[in-house]
Amino acid sequence: MSFYLIKTPKFIQNLFNEYIWSFSFTKTPKKVIHLTFDDGPTPEITDWTLNILKKHNAKATFFCIGKNIDKHPELFKRIIAEGHAIGNHTYNHLNGWKTNNTDYIKNIEKTEKSIQQYLKNSKLITQNSKLLFRPPYGKIKNKQAKLLLKKGYSIIMWSVLSGDFDQTIRPEKCAENVMKKAQNGSIIVFHDSVKASKNIKFALPKVLEYFDKKGYCFKRIALPK
Whether 5 is covered by a domain: the verdict is no
Which pLDDT tens digit goes with each residue over 100-155? 999 999 999 999 999 999 888 666 554 456 899 999 999 999 999 999 999 999 99
Q: For residues 110 and 24, what is the distance between their CA atoms, to the nearest angstrom?
A: 32
Whether 225 is covered by a domain: the verdict is no
Q: What is the pTM of this model?
A: 0.95
DSSP string, 120-189: TTSTHHHHT-SEEE--GGG---HHHHHHHHHTTEEEB--SEE--TT-TTS-HHHHHHHHHHH--TTBEEE
Active site residues: 38, 191
Whether 134 is covered by a domain: the verdict is yes
Range of the domain at 124: 10-218
Which pLDDT tens digit goes with each residue over 144-192? 999 999 999 999 999 999 999 999 999 999 999 999 999 999 999 999 9
Whether 193 is covered by a domain: the verdict is yes
Strands 32-38 and 187-191 turn out to be parallel
Whether 3 is covered by a domain: the verdict is no
Whether 2 is covered by a domain: the verdict is no
Number of domains in the chain: 1
Whether 66 is covered by a domain: the verdict is yes
What is the domain-level CATH number for residue 106? 3.20.20.370
Whether 198 is covered by a domain: the verdict is yes
